[in-house]
Each structure stands twice: as structure tokens, then as C-alpha cells.
Structure 1
Amino acid sequence: MTRVRLDVSYDGTSFSGWAVQPERRTVAGVLAEALERLLGAGAATGLTVAGRTDAGVHATGQVCHVDLPDEQWARLGSTLVRRLAGLMPPDARVRGAREVPAGFDARFSATFRRYEYRVTDSPYGAEPLRRHDTLAWPRPLDADALNAAAKGFLGEHDFAAYCKRKENATTIRAISRLDWRRDPDGALVATVQADAFCQAMVRSLVGALLAAGDGRRPADWPAGLLGRRERSSEVTVAPAHGLTLVAVGYPEAEEYASRAELTRRLRG
């Protein structure tokens, strides 16, 4: 078998998230269906993704891996992207496919995930062509206040107040970047990067920061919740459609397996 890295992008509007779910349209579902139509039933195995995005969340830099029979990869590898383009729906694309070492794991070999969240405080709302990836906020937002509040999240913390807790899973995460910028079109964009995120964490962080950015909460309030050990009912989760997974980082190829082993131990 040959391990293949797939770089994937999608408009999450009409998807019920990444993971396959019975009777629901998901990104993994349409990708697996396309691979089966191209290669035959059961040929592609072990589909694994870097980050299981929720319903409505988009991606321009998603990464997954799949194992293909050597003969299939040798025959179709050079044309796989073009062939999948003809089989997948227009709101999901495989943008790249390349062979990687067997030790590569799209999920556990990753060193970081980077998301962006777009929000506009324009009085007329989101531009029509950006309505699917930009949240329209009803109050003016102060970029300086947003960045002042964001600084309190940097570093390693227990984000239990901002996560949906899962049994036997840690809520400790290390955020290496969290800042806001105002783009030329007037939209405010939050960039957040961490080793990993728990479910709904990024949208919860954004929800708390927006409350500080529009003046309803002081700048130190979002980080002040980090001392809690249960999810905070005071935090409003920002809508999914403003969030996009833009990049996943990996070490050098010779470090894929060791990074995956380390991550498994940490998550355990």
C-alpha cells in the first residue's frame, strides 16, 4: 500500500461537518464516495483527517491521508487530482495528492492547525459574495480591544471554559498565535493557531472576544474565564460559517512517525 496525502478545500455551508454520518452529507462522505467510484470498493482505506471540522465550517488548507494499493497509485497518481475533480461536487475539491512516508499521519503528525474567522461590523452587513464565510456583527468592533483581549489566550492553558468536554480527553491546549487584523474590505479577521483544538473551541474564543471588541465586556474578561474547570455558560459560541481552516503544519518527513507517537501520548 502507498500512503497518499490529500490537500482538500471545501465550502462547509451544505455539509454536516467532516466526519461520515448516516443519512447526512459530509466532506469525508463525498470524498470516500469519489475514491470508491474511481478505484473500486474497498481499494482506498484508512481515510484520516487533520481536523474534523464541524457543520458549516469551511477549509482552504485541510489535510488528510489515505492508503491506496501500490498498483492503483502507480497507474492513477499523476492524474488523481484531475479525475477526482470530475467526480466530486463543486463545493469540495482535492487540490493536491502526493505520496508520503508510511509514518505520516494527517492527524497525529501535525504540529499546528491554523484557523481564520471573518466578521464584518459594516452597517449593511456582509458583502453578498462573502455571506457564506463572513459573520455580520450588529455592533461596531474595536480592533485594538480585540487584540488586547486576545493576548490573554496565548500560551498553554486549560481551556475547559471554552470546550465541549469529552470523556478521557484533555482540554489543555497551547495557542501560539491569536490576533486580529482589519482587511482592505473592512472585515476583521482573527487568526488563531495551536497544536490542536477541542470541539467548538475556536468559535467559543471568538464569541468571547467579540463581546470584548464591541465594549460589552472588559478586555481581561475572556482570559479571566480560564480558571474555570467546566464550560462557561456566559460564552456565546460564534456561528460556524465565519470559520475557515486555512493551514495544517507538519515537521520534516523524517520526523513524521516520532511526532505522531508523541502526540498520541500527549492526547492520551
Structure 2
Amino acid sequence: MDERTRLRLDVSYDGTDFSGWAAQPTRRTVAGVLMQTLDLVLGAGTATGLTVAGRTDAGVHATGQVCHLDLPAEVWRQHDGKLLRRLARLLPPDVRVRAMTEVPADFDARFSATFRRYEYRVTDAPWGAEPLRRTDTLAWPKPLDLAALNAAAAGLVGEHDFAAYCRRKENATTLREVTRLDWRRDPDGILVATVQADAFCQNMVRSLVGAMLVAGDGRRPVEWPASLLSRRERSSEVTVAPAHGLALVEVGYPADPAEYARRADLTRRLRVPVAEG
């Protein structure tokens, strides 16, 4: 068997014109475009095992996505130092591979991850989103109170069953540990929610944002989002916030590469599929 080299890819993309990350035969996806370009540069089937940290949904962006793949070691030796620029020339402008790094064979972009961090951008300006930010910022039709948003967020931090905020999958747990959830208002007036957890179930981040926004504009009490944590089924009262305000901004991994395999084993025991909020 040929010796193979595992590579970590750090990837950014504008999700507007993608049907999410995962490859689909009839749709334009980030994974599909990336593999088509790698096949063009390296030869069909040369790069194998593409695995992503978080499978973002249609319309969701990323500035800190991570994936891994395997190449024959000889191919990597031939292309090391040149492959990044070749990809930059051939990839469409709405997806960029920002770094390619050789990593140990037991690095797993999905299961070795210790956290995923998302940001959600909202404007409550009466004129809506600035034209240059319309594809990554939600325009909210009512004024939002920062203190109320943070009060609503505080009740959602910690380990909980987020069944009310998730699209349930068979044999998959909805137990998650949210380690950070807070809002800030930037100097330009944009409200930004930062949400970090070990993992997310499908639609979880956008559902959390949707619940906090109606607390932030006064239509619900600030205690309402946390009160839903007692539910064991998806809550029909929660509106999923639109995809375009959401971006995956960082994925964390153990500082010591020797911990990659142990972390991956632990994650596999804890839960099945990792999905986008």
C-alpha cells in the first residue's frame, strides 16, 4: 500500500450560492467544488477521505472551517509549497483554502475537535443591512436590547438537552454543552452573537438565535428561551433564524498532537453526527 500523508485544510467560504458543505450529485456544495478542483490539479481520486469539522447548511458561511484529507506521500512531496497557490487560481472566488498543513495520521477534523465557535450577525438599524453586508447580516425589523439578549443567553449556557432547539435524528443525542453564548454590539451598531460548544445538532445555533431575538425585542420574556430546555421534542414556537447571518469562525483542537486520537475516541463514544447550528 502506498504511503499516505494526512493534510489539514483551513477553509473559508461565502455560503450564499452553496447548498451547504456536503457533496450532493445535483447541487453546488463546498465539498463538491473543493474535490472537483483537487481532482483537476492532482488527478481524479488522488485526494481521498475528505472529512469536515462541521457540515454547514445551505447559505451558512465559514471563516474558520477545518477539514482533512489524505494524499499519496509522493504526490504531497511533489506539490508541497505549490498546491495552495494552484488552488487559489482554480477555485471559484466564494471559497478559499487558506492553509494546508501536514498533520499526524490520527488527526480527525471532525472527531478530534474540542469546540466549534459560530457568530451570528444582526442589524436592528431602521434602514436594514448595509448593501455590502446584506449576505452575512440579518436585518431585524424591531429594535433589540443588548442587555435582554444577554440575559436570555445566560440561561442557555451549560450542559443541557437541547431537544427543543434541534432537528432530531434517529439514534442521535440532543445533549450538548454550550460553553459560551453572549452578544455584543460592535461600533458600527451590528449585534453579534458568539456561540461555542463541543458540538451542535442540526439547526441548533439558528434556533437559539431565533429564540433570543424575540426576547431581545421584547415579544418574549428573557427567561423564555431557557424555559424551553425542559422540552423533549422540537418546539414549534421557535423560529429558526435565516442561514445567511451565521458563520463558523473557529474550530478548536488539542494543543498537543498526541491527544488527537484520544479526543477522537472520546467524541465517538459521546455522540454521533456533528452538524451545523
Fold match (TM-score > 0.5): yes
Measure, in 1, the Cα distance between the counterparts of 2:93 and 2:231. Answer: 43
Structure 1 length-normalised TM: 0.99
SS in structure 2 at match of 1:180: strand
1:216 aligns with 2:219: yes
Measure, in 1, the Cα distance between the counterparts of 2:69 and 2:92. Answer: 19
1:74 to 58, 77, 92: 77
Match for 1:166: what amino acid? K
Aligned residue in 2 for 1:150: 153
Aligned residue in 2 for 1:265: 269
Matches within 5 A, 1:46-57: 46-57=49-60
2:131 to 125, 128, 131: 128
Structure 2 length-normalised TM: 0.96
* 1:66-107 C-alpha deviation (Å, 9 max, x unpaired): 000001111112111111111110000000001000010000
Give 1:181 shift: 0.2
1:45 aligns with 2:48: yes
SS in structure 1 at match of 2:82: helix
Match for 1:267: what amino acid? R
Aligned residue in 2 for 1:177: 180
4+ runs deviating over 2 angstroms = none
Measure, in 2, the Cα distance between the counterparts of 1:119 and 1:42. Answer: 41
Aligned residues: 268
Measure, in 1, the Cα distance between the counterparts of 2:126 and 2:44. Answer: 52
Measure, in 1, the Cα distance between the counterparts of 2:30 and 2:203. Answer: 18
1:255 aligns with 2:254: no
Match for 1:155: what amino acid? G
Measure, in 2, the Cα distance between the counterparts of 1:94 and 1:104. Answer: 18
1:97 aligns with 2:100: yes
Measure, in 2, the Cα distance between the counterparts of 1:82 and 1:163. Answer: 39
Aligned residue in 1 for 2:275: none
1:232 aligns with 2:218: no
Measure, in 2, the Cα distance between the counterparts of 1:234 and 1:95. Answer: 40
Give 1:5 shift: 0.2
Q: Gaps spanning 5+ residues in structure 2: where?
A: 273-277
Measure, in 1, the Cα distance between the counterparts of 2:118 and 2:268. Answer: 22
Identity %, equivalent residues: 78
Q: Gaps spanning 5+ residues in structure 1: where?
A: none
Match for 2:53: what amino acid? A
1:202 aligns with 2:205: yes
Give 1:256 shift: 0.4
* 1:3-62 C-alpha deviation (Å, 9 max, x unpaired): 000000000000000000121000000000011001101110000000000000000000
* 1:193-231 C-alpha deviation (Å, 9 max, x unpaired): 000000010000000000000000000000000000000
